Structure 1
Amino acid sequence: MNKNQLAEQLKYCSPNIIYVVTWNNLLKKVFCPFRVQTRNDIGEYYKGEIVWVEQVKVTPELKTIFVINGDAYYYYHFDIII
């Protein structure tokens, strides 16, 4: 994906909102900051720790990133708490 294609996709994204499909197939709009629980030890956080996501970003490869205390982590290290 080149820079122009990425810019086109990101026009429709917000760093303050994420859409989540719940266990019972409901679509929920979750606003930052929201809580997540770590799935494993990552950075300065231990497995099972609950932290707050400040922003949601996307890499050039379109992978979701959570910004927590100013540091960026891939989304798959966390479970969203609704």
Structure 2
Amino acid sequence: MSDQELAELLKHSNPKEIYVVTWNNRLLRLKCPFRVEVITNVGLLLKGEIVLVTEIRVTREIKTVYIIEMNAYYYYHFDILI
């Protein structure tokens, strides 16, 4: 993805909110901070911990990253708690 394509994509995103589809097919907008449960040990976080996501970012490869305690983690290490 070129820098221009990435810039265009990021114009429509917000680092302080995320849209999620629930198990019963409802679309919800979550605003930071929101709670997530750690599902695999990653960095200093242990499986089962409940932590707060303070910001959402996107990598150059368009992967979602959560900022937690000023550290970046890929989204797939967590379950969002609604």
**Given the two structures, how large is their TM-score scaled by the length of structure 1?**
0.99
Runs of 4+, deviation exceeding 4 Å: none
Q: Measure how far apart 1:38 and its partner are.
A: 0.4
The root-mean-square deviation of aligned C-alpha atoms, in Å, is 0.4
Q: Residue 39 of structure 1 aligns to which amino acid in structure 2? A: I
Q: What is residue 38 of structure 1 aligned with on the other side?
A: 38
SS state of the match for residue 8, structure 1?
helix
Letter in 2 for 1:13: S
Alignment of 1:37-76 (within 5 A): 37-76=37-76
Alpha-carbon deviation of 1:79?
Answer: 0.2
CA distance in 2, matches of 1:47, 1:80: 14
User: Structure 1 vs Structure 2: percent identity of aligned residues?
Assistant: 54
Q: Does 1:9 align with 2:9?
A: yes
Cα separation, 1, equivalents of 2:51 and 2:78: 9
Partner of 1:81: 81
Task: Output the CA distance in 1 between the equivalents of 2:63 and 2:13.
Answer: 13
CA–CA distance in structure 2, aligned partners of residues 73 and 57 of structure 1? 10
Taking structure 2 as the reference length, the TM-score comes to 0.99
**Rounded Cα–Cα distance in structure 2 between residues aligned with 1:59 and 1:46:** 23
Cα shift readout 1:23-73 (whole Å, capped 9, x = no counterpart): 000000000000000011111111010000000000011000000000000
- SS of residue in 1 equivalent to 2:57: strand
Instruction: Provide the rounded CA distance (Å) in 2 between the counterparts of 1:72 and 1:9.
Output: 20
* Residue segments in structure 2 that go unaligned for 5+ positions in a row: none
Structure 1 unmatched ranges of 5 or more: none
